[in-house]
Structure 1
Amino acid sequence: MSEKKVVATWIEPGNPFDKAKVIRKTVFCDEQGYTEPQEFDNLDAISYHLTIAFDDEEPVAAARIFPNKDGITYHIDRVSVLKPYRGKGVGRILLQNLEDQIRKLGRKRATLAAELTAVGFYEKLGYKIYGEQYYEYHLPVIDMEKMLE
């Protein structure tokens, strides 16, 4: 993916995020069995939405971030990469863009709820586990955090 131009598109809170919705529906509803009411919730309205595309093509990854009330944290959520692009560095590019935006928004900490199968991926990017495993609907997850410089 490194030879292609990365196109990161941010959608401000309260604006339509249709291209991100398509990716999230594919990954979370079609692949993982979430219902649309579970996947698309009231946090979408207060979130910044990000899509990643290459060479101005259709987006292949999406995520959202929203502020925590503590004043220093943004929560990274709904991290999704279309199946043909997994294992090719797209997730790393997505997280780098999310972290950069969190820094631009003046926050110092990122949190996320990692599916257990993705913990190793996040650890490689500097995230640390805190708390105990729990279920988000039907999938086991664990909270992770990273202090941003």
Structure 2
Amino acid sequence: MSDAVGALTPPDGEPYGPGRRLGVSFSGGVDSAALAALAVRAFGPEAVVALIAVSASLARRELRAARETAAEIGVELAEVTTFETDVEDYRANRADRCYFCRTEMFTRFTGDTARELGLAAIAYGENATDAHRIDRPGAVAALEFGVLRPLSA
């Protein structure tokens, strides 16, 4: 896990802390929960915030479960409104729809949300198995936004 912690280093190399936090893209699933827990353990709860995209495409029960998981981990959960359902390419429901969903999500996370929450970097829970699959267009969006992938090594 030390490799994963090392991969969470902010691009500028400065340490995380209050006002310079790590945002973790968070669904409450196994990968994002493990990443959030790892980050809290490595940097402390004041240096980490979990980010969940809230929109018409997120079921209420999934949001409730994510809230519960974040509370169990001891990480702040920021609920960020996204609008992927307004994007025609997402609504077309093609195989690449995840690219458009992630693009909307990372646009929100890296924009006003990053400024408001003092985020120095954003990470998501792509794992080593995911990293070798070609059918994950959302991963392309993550790369385009410079999102860290510490579990993919």
State if a TM-score over 0.5 links the two structures.
no
> Comparing both structures, which one devotes a greater share of its residues to strand?
1
> Comparing both structures, which one devotes a greater share of its residues to helix?
2
RCO comparison, higher one (Cα < 8 Å, 6+): 2
- TM-score range (shorter-chain normalised) is 0.3 to 0.5
